[in-house]
Structure 1
Amino acid sequence: MHLLVTNCNTTASMTEEIVAGARAAASPGTTVTGLTPAWGPESAEGWLDSYLSAAAVLDTLRRYEGQCDAVVMAGFGEHGREGARELLGVPVVDITEAAAHLACLLGRRYAVITTLDRARGQIEDSLHTAGVFTNCSAVLGTGLGVLELGDDERTLDAFVAAAERAKESGAEVLVLGCAGMTGLQRAVGDKLGLPVVDGVAAAVKLAESLVSLGLTTSKAGGYAAPLPKRRLWGPPGA
């Protein structure tokens, strides 16, 4: 089985971290290829970045049609998953949706802990669109930017502080609200006394399950293949 895991930004070092987390979660025999968009924002933090990221990710994925068994979109709360499901003939699993679905199997209420507060609206909208927002007790920011997550000690401290607020909101499960937090659940799960769901790992396992079951995106309605027409992709000269 071959999975494509696409970063939502142009920071290659973050792609490497995401791919490492995906490979750690993948089953034996599953190969993982990481994709970094050739253009777009270096980190996705806000509506403008998110829409630019979505276009760049779709531009990247279209070049790999027919070259994988499933796609994992590793941008938490970012746009583009519906377009990717139209574009591709294989299962497309978004880490936001995957993490929330698994969290709902582990407790009655879950909370998302993300980076900056400005990302909360996008994440809430994404969860609502996916039909899993009802079980969300809170979406909380740590105050850290995406590119600051490389500082492991600072990230852990900020996550734990936000987790305390999440527990006060009634959360029984925590969700890592950024692909750059991949791997953090191993460091904080026991300390917090709550299950912690990593979106990248969740998406990988769900993607594998869909492929193993022979299931893919329905083309009967909303995710039907795009209408044939001329489309100009990417920035000029791309």
Structure 2
Amino acid sequence: MRTVRILVTNCNTTRTMTEEIVRGARSAASPGTTVTGLTPAWGVESAEGWLDSYLSAAAVLDTLRTYDGPPYDAVVLAGFGEHGREGVRELVDVPVVDITEAAAHLACLLGRRYGVVTTLERSCGQIEDSLETAGVARNCAAVVGTGLGVLDLGDTDRTEAAFLAAAERARRAGAEVLVLGCAGMTGLQRTLGEELGLPVVDGVGAAVRLAESLVALGLRTSRAGSYARPVVKGRVWGPPEP
């Protein structure tokens, strides 16, 4: 079996978070899959809200546009609910899997309705819109915030307590499966799944496995219509050089 090479892009500039995401991706990957993490050189230290999301999307696109490392077979976008998914599919010639829709698709195979537990409440509407665009919003019972910022997730005890409280709210709303609504939550599915008594889907692991499947099946993004290659024209990425 040939090696599958996956690029995993963090949506923010915090390298320690990239490292944590890559650890989660590698633990989920099949033998023979290599995972390389990319951290944007510019953008936001944590993506929380519409402004951050649009800025991070541009930074991720720029990171992939200027990538000059070894060839890769697929891209995993590790920003839950962040923008840029459709643009990246136009930009690169390999399968692109967003952790948001990957987690939701797998959750739909495990229960009739799923709930997303995320960070700040301000991100909930953005995630709902992303699920709607991906066509998986119909089965979402609730998107619930924990009240924690992305950079607060390093406090394990506090994160677990906040996640459990938010998970109960999602369960009461009808969720039969839970989805981790932030790449920085990777790993919680192992520690909290049994305690909650519900399946817990990690988007990073789900996206890596789906990316592997697309590569193994020889499938790529369709160029017929919506994700056709970008129109050839002048584009300025950042301020012109003096």
Smaller-chain TM-score bracket? over 0.9
Query: In the superposition, relative to structure 1, how do residues 5 and 29 fare at CA in structure 2: closer, same or farther (>3 Å)?
Result: same
Matched, 1:51 2:46: no
SS state at 2:66 partner: helix
SS state at 2:109 partner: helix
CA deviation string 1:151-206 (max 9, x = no partner): 00000000001111111001000000000000110000000000000000000000
Map 1:148-167 onto structure 2 (within 5 A): 148-167=152-171
In the alignment, which residue of structure 2 is the partner of 1:115? Answer: 119
The alignment of Structure 1 onto Structure 2 pairs a total of residues equal to: 237
The alignment's C-alpha RMSD in Å is 1.1
SS state at 2:115 partner: strand
CA deviation string 1:128-168 (max 9, x = no partner): 00000000000000000000000000000000011111110
- Point out 4+ residue stretches in structure 1 off by more than 6 angstroms: none
Q: Distance in 1 between matches of 2:240 and 2:44?
A: 16
In the alignment, which residue of structure 1 is the partner of 2:192? Answer: 188
Query: In the superposition, relative to structure 1, how do residues 198 and 236 fare at CA in structure 2: closer, same or farther (>3 Å)?
Result: farther
The two structures have a TM-score, normalised by structure 2, of 0.96
In the alignment, which residue of structure 2 is the partner of 1:77? Answer: 81
Q: Distance in 2 between matches of 1:91 and 1:72?
A: 9
In the alignment, which residue of structure 2 is the partner of 1:95? Answer: 99
Deviates more, 1:64-73 or 1:210-219: 64-73
Gaps of 5+ in 1: none
In the alignment, which residue of structure 1 is the partner of 2:232? Answer: 228
Q: 61, 66, 69: which is aligned to 1:63?
A: 66
SS state at 1:38 partner: coil
In the alignment, which residue of structure 2 is the partner of 1:18? Answer: 21
1:221 is matched by which residue type in structure 2?
A: G
How far 1:233 moved relative to its partner? 1.4
Query: In the superposition, relative to structure 1, how do residues 200 and 42 fare at CA in structure 2: closer, same or farther (>3 Å)?
Result: same
How far 1:49 moved relative to its partner? 0.1
Matched, 1:128 2:132: yes
Q: Contact (CA 8 Å) 1:99, 1:199: kept in 2 or not?
A: yes
Q: 143, 146, 154: which is aligned to 1:142?
A: 146
Matched, 1:27 2:41: no
Q: Contact (CA 8 Å) 1:11, 1:42: kept in 2 or not?
A: yes
Q: Distance in 2 between matches of 1:210 and 1:15?
A: 23
Quote the sequence identity (%).
78
Gaps of 5+ in 2: none
